[in-house]
């Protein structure tokens, strides 16, 4: 009986000690190779095209890509770092520097939900310029670029900048958004309400005239302005930069592609030991009544 009480005493004492340590927020630090991603979204108006038809998911390209990314981020292991950015015209703008996913998930999800086509500072779109702009910026952060775009360019210029990299293959992913079959581009007001569809005649002359852009095709003013996934162009950019290419279909596939990318940096990972201490204390208390 005395021996049984002694065991119970030590179980209780150790349980109390473990619970007391949780007040001091114990952590365990270790080095680990991690992925540091920056996800950049094309927010030009072709990304409003509604050509996804998956039950329970948004139909427009931008919202579908954001939903797919949200699910993919939830699948990333703790320690992974995530940043966000947007692209329009010729530039990529970083909105959120990479932060750790498990500690900052609410902030990441909230920032992702705020990305919107109405933040665009220009209507034209030069995909290669935007991609290269993103790569230059992220080189300083040792981050991997994940670039979401349908590849639609306005004006459809054949002239593109040359890409130069002294590091060889670039770790990153170009995500093609949309379908291969052309669909009309919705015309939305500032309240995001649909007014109709864009026509060629709605474009300014400086965007469609061969007088200003001798390398583009002359457009017919009475046609709908349509958009499709420019996959051939995006694949050529992937080859040029050494990035991987993925066509966005099921959100699950996006998560799998991200997890396949090689970790880009070594970082000190902090592991919170409080849940483990509390669990052991709970088991000791249970055992004290069983032994």
Domains, the chain, ordered by start: 30-185+226-290 (3.40.50.410)
Note the pLDDT tens digit of each residue in 21-58. Answer: 878 777 777 677 889 999 999 999 999 999 999 999 99
Per the CB < 8 A criterion, the answer to whether 125 and 42 are in contact is yes
DSSP 201-267: GGS-HHHH-TTT-TTSPPPPTTSB-EE---HHHHHHHHHHHT-EEEE--SHHHHHHHHHHSPP-EEE
Cβ contacts of residue 175 below 8 Å, gap of 6+? 65, 146, 147, 148, 149, 246, 247, 248, 254
pLDDT reading at 159 higher than 80: no
pLDDT reading at 291 higher than 60: yes
Note the pLDDT tens digit of each residue in 202-250. Answer: 766 555 555 444 444 555 555 778 999 999 999 999 999 999 999 999 9
Per the CB < 8 A criterion, the answer to whether 234 and 151 are in contact is yes
DSSP 78: T
Per the CB < 8 A criterion, the answer to whether 39 and 85 are in contact is yes
Q: What is the pLDDT of residue 23?
A: 80
pLDDT reading at 1 higher than 50: no
pLDDT reading at 160 higher than 80: no
Note the pLDDT tens digit of each residue in 176-207. Answer: 999 999 999 999 998 889 888 988 777 665 55
Cis geometry, peptide bond prior to residue 250 (ω within 30 degrees of 0): no
Q: Which residue has the tokens 């003013």?
A: 221
pLDDT reading at 10 higher than 70: yes
């Amino acid at each position: 009986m005395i021996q049984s009480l002694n065991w119970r005493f030590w179980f209780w004492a150790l349980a109390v000690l473990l619970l007391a340590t949780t007040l001091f927020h114990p952590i365990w630090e270790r080095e680990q190779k991690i992925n540091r991603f920056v996800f950049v979204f094309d927010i030009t108006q072709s990304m409003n095209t509604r050509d996804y038809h998956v039950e329970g998911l948004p139909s427009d390209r931008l919202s579908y890509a954001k939903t797919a990314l949200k699910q993919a981020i939830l699948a990333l292991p703790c320690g992974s770092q995530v940043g966000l950015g947007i692209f329009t015209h010729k530039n990529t703008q970083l909105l959120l520097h990479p932060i750790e996913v498990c500690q900052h998930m609410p902030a990441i999800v909230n920032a992702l939900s705020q990305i919107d086509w109405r933040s665009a500072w220009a209507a034209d779109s030069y995909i290669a310029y935007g991609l290269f702009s993103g790569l230059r910026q992220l080189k300083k952060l040792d981050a991997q670029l994940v670039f979401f775009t349908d590849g639609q360019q306005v004006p459809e210029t054949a002239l593109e900048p040359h890409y130069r990299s002294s590091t060889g293959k670039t770790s990153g992913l170009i995500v093609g958004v949309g379908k291969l079959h052309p669909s009309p581009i919705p015309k939305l007001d500032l309240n995001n309400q649909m007014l109709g569809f864009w026509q060629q005649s709605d474009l300014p002359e400086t965007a469609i005239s061969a007088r200003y852009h001798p390398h583009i095709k002359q457009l017919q003013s009475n046609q709908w302005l349509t958009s499709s996934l420019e996959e051939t162009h995006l694949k050529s950019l992937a080859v040029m930069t050494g990035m991987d290419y993925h066509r966005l279909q099921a959100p699950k596939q996006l998560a799998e592609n991200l997890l396949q990318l090689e970790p880009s940096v070594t970082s000190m990972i902090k592991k919170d030991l409080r849940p483990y201490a509390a669990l052991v204390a709970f088991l000791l208390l249970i055992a004290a009544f069983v032994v």
